[in-house]
């Protein structure tokens, strides 16, 4: 009887645990990213934050773009673990992307965050230039 109860309890908690992982990524996005990017991922021109839709997947589709994403202020200064950052990035991609950019892994986040990046604006310009050579335009970036 105790075994049956334990199996039933495990079955009941298995689904909520999977749902909890998704909720955590979404919750972290809402709590840590929407201040700049907004709940709809549209950013603000006044704040100098470009929208995710139509851009984030293209940025994540190239190596320099993935480096850039790991160094935007909200990511590089985040108190989230690398696993949590990967989960949030994958939530952002699943929510706002229409490309087939690969998912982020914890190991990739760790590696890319450790790379030096001295000027995020210069890095963004290089990403835009590389994408433009492929015929891809992304959202304007208002920083000089």
Using one digit for the tens of pLDDT, what is the confidence trace for 106-117? Answer: 999 999 999 999
pLDDT digits (tens, 9 = 90+) for 92-135: 999 998 888 999 999 999 999 999 999 999 999 999 999 999 99
Q: Is residue 141 in a domain?
A: no
The domain spanning residue 57 has which CATH number? 1.10.760.10
pLDDT at 47: 84
Q: How confident is the model at residue 2 (pLDDT cuts 50, 70, 90)?
A: low
- CA dist 79 and 84 (Å) reads 10
Does residue 49 sit in helix, strand or coil? strand
Q: What is the mean pLDDT of residues 10-39?
A: 73
Q: What is the extent of the structural domain holding 73?
A: 2-133
Cβ-based neighbours of 32, under 8 Å, separated by 6 or more = 74, 78, 80, 88
Does residue 131 sit in helix, strand or coil? helix
38 in Cβ contact with 50 (< 8 Å): no
Q: Is residue 144 in a domain?
A: no
Q: What is the mean pLDDT of residues 24-31?
A: 94
Q: Is residue 138 in a domain?
A: no
Number of domains within the chain: 1
pLDDT digits (tens, 9 = 90+) for 31-80: 999 999 999 999 988 888 989 999 999 999 999 999 999 999 999 999 99
42 in Cβ contact with 33 (< 8 Å): no
Q: Is residue 116 in a domain?
A: yes
């Amino acid at each position: 009887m105790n075994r049956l109860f334990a199996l039933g309890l495990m079955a009941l908690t298995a689904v909520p645990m999977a749902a909890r992982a998704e909720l955590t990524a979404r919750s972290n996005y809402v709590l840590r990213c929407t201040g700049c990017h907004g709940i709809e991922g549209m950013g603000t021109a006044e704040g100098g934050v470009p929208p995710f839709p139509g851009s984030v997947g293209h940025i994540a589709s190239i190596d320099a773009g993935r480096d850039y994403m790991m160094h935007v202020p909200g990511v590089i200064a985040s108190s989230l673990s690398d696993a949590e950052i990967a989960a949030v990035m994958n939530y952002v991609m699943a929510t706002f992307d229409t490309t087939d950019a690969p998912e982020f892994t914890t190991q990739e986040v760790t590696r890319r965050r450790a790379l030096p990046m001295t000027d995020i604006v210069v890095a963004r310009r290089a990403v835009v230039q590389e994408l433009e050579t492929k015929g891809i335009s992304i959202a304007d970036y208002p920083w000089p």
